[in-house]
């Protein structure tokens, strides 16, 4: 499944042909596996496109030979510069506080270069990602407040690499929109070193991205109907969309195929779930979350009773455990199963969490569960051209699907209320 989704279909940014093909194919494959019900759930999604390849150059003087190419890519959601590009002096900062201290005087008319690395001392790379993410998510508007004309953001990667990491950014209301790009970690280091040498260095970049009108798309849902409590729904999902730079293997082809695999395995082994098990391929996690929002919206409109929702969106690596959001009673019930799961290397049950796509279900009191694979290699690939099929280890991927199936089996069999049925 993963090979087809990543190498035959490939990149699947919302609104793209790849995303449409992925909808069609996952719908088809879940039908072929004989799931009881398979259907599309319509949702309108944003349609951002990268356009022509970006150009990024350090400008050390007026001659052509004074220009040094550095690797950048537009951030998702950014406006483009168009063919005229942006050229300006560069101000390097590591935080919004530093930016505020510099103020309008130092920033006006300049390009702000955010260069805060991910904190390597945090064992969970997701914690480091969370801590450094401000630059990419809201760096542009924050810089525009002080009159900046563009931003360059250090890629959110753990290693020093030559490829940039894209990802979504958004503009705050009532602040001028300025173009935003990510720079590879290696070139962030180089740019920083060049700035130490020559403070009035200029940077030039050209981007052709733009936001087109919204496009009709879909979440894809496949169900095994519950034999005893069909109205109690247990959802398990990943997101079908990916960034445009690669094949969307670890983010999040793996989560999608693992979710389908859980149902496929139960069906193949003849296990008839008591409750309704639902595999959900969410659309548009990366730049809008429209699929997750619409799924929760429909659940509410239809008065559906989700007893739990699990998401796999942290890569297809060796399983380590599950994060949870729910009542203390329900969390304790799940933690009591730890003894059954520990022999399979599942030991991490203490984190609060869930997943972006299932997040909107929390308002309906649904217990959220996040599948936690080992996080160490995720940000080598996340949102980069390197997120390809060959980076996924077959056995690690399968063990993840097995771990998810094991916990979902327990939830299906024993429910999540306090008294065992």
Instruction: Please report, as ranges, the residues that interact with a second copy according to CB under 8 A.
Output: 120, 123, 125, 158-159, 318, 320, 343-345, 347-348, 374, 376-377, 380, 393-396, 399
Active-site annotation holds for 17: no
Nearest to 310 by CA among 257, 353, 247: 353
Give the largest CA-CA distance in the chain: 77
What pairs with residue 325 in β-bridges?
368
Half-sphere exposure of 153 (CA within 13 A, CB side): 33
Residue 221 or 324 having the CB closest to a second copy: 324
CB of 124 to a second copy, least distance (A): 9
CB of 156 to a second copy, least distance (A): 14
Nearest to 326 by CA among 361, 375, 357: 361
CB of 320 to a second copy, least distance (A): 7
CB of 7 to a second copy, least distance (A): 17
Q: Where does residue 376 rank: exposed (0-12), middle (13-18), buried (19+ CB within 10 A)?
A: middle
Which is catalytic among the residues 142, 223, 232, 285? 285
Distance of CA 280 to the CA centre of its chain: 16
Residue 123 or 363 having the CB closest to a second copy: 123
CB of 199 to a second copy, least distance (A): 32
Residue 120 or 176 having the CB closest to a second copy: 120
Q: How far apart are CA 53 and CA 36, in angstroms?
A: 44
Residue 279 or 341 having the CB closest to a second copy: 341
CB of 412 to a second copy, least distance (A): 22
Three state DSSP letters for 365-413: CCEEEEEEECCCCHHHHCCCCCCCHHHCCHHHHHHHHHHHHHHHHHHHH
Q: How far apart are CA 132 and CA 171, in angstroms?
A: 18
* φ/ψ (deg, to 5) at 412: -65, -45
Q: Where does residue 226 rank: exposed (0-12), middle (13-18), buried (19+ CB within 10 A)?
A: buried
Residue 275 or 320 having the CB closest to a second copy: 320
Coarse DSSP helix, strand, coil percentages of the chain, rounded to the nearest 5 percent: 35, 25, 40
Q: Active-site residues: which are they? A: 285
């Amino acid at each position: 499944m993963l090979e087809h989704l990543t190498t035959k279909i490939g990149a699947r940014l919302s609104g793209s042909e790849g995303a449409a093909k992925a909808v069609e194919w996952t719908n088809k494959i879940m039908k072929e596996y004989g799931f009881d019900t398979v259907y599309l759930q319509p949702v309108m999604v944003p349609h951002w496109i990268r356009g022509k390849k970006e150009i990024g150059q350090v400008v050390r003087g007026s001659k052509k030979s004074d220009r040094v190419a550095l690797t950048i890519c537009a951030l998702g959601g950014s406006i483009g510069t168009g063919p005229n590009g942006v050229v300006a002096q560069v101000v390097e900062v590591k935080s919004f506080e530093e930016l505020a201290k510099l103020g309008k005087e130092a920033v006006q008319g300049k390009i702000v270069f955010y260069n805060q690395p991910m904190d390597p001392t945090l064992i969970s790379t997701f914690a480091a990602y969370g801590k450094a993410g401000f630059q990419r998510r809201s760096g542009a508007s924050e810089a525009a407040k002080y009159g900046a004309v563009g931003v360059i953001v250090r890629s959110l990667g753990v290693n020093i690499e030559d490829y940039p990491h894209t990802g979504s950014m958004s503009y705050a209301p009532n602040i001028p929109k300025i173009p935003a790009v990510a720079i590879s970690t290696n070139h962030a280091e180089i740019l920083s070193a060049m700035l130490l040498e020559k403070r009035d260095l200029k940077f030039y970049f050209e981007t052709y991205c733009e936001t087109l009108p919204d496009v009709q798309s879909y979440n894809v849902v496949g169900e095994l109907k519950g034999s005893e409590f069909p109205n109690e729904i247990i959802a398990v999902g990943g997101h079908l969309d990916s960034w445009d730079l690669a094949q969307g293997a670890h983010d999040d082809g793996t989560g999608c195929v693992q979710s389908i695999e859980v149902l496929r395995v139960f069906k193949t082994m003849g296990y008839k779930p008591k409750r309704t098990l639902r595999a959900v391929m969410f659309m548009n996690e990366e730049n809008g979350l429209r699929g997750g929002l619409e799924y929760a919206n429909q659940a509410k409109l239809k008065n559906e009773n989700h007893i739990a929702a699990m998401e796999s969106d942290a890569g297809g690596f060796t399983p380590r455990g599950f994060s949870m959001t729910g009542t203390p009673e329900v969390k304790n019930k799940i933690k009591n199963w730890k003894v059954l799961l520990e022999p399979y290397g599942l030991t991490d049950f203490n984190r609060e969490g869930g997943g972006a796509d299932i997040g909107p279900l929390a308002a309906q009191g649904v217990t959220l569960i996040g599948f936690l694979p080992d996080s160490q290699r995720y940000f080598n690939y996340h949102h980069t051209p390197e997120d390809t099929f060959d980076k996924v280890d077959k056995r690690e991927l399968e063990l993840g699907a097995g771990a998810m199936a094991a916990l979902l089996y327990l939830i299906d069999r024993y429910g999540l209320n306090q008294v065992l049925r």
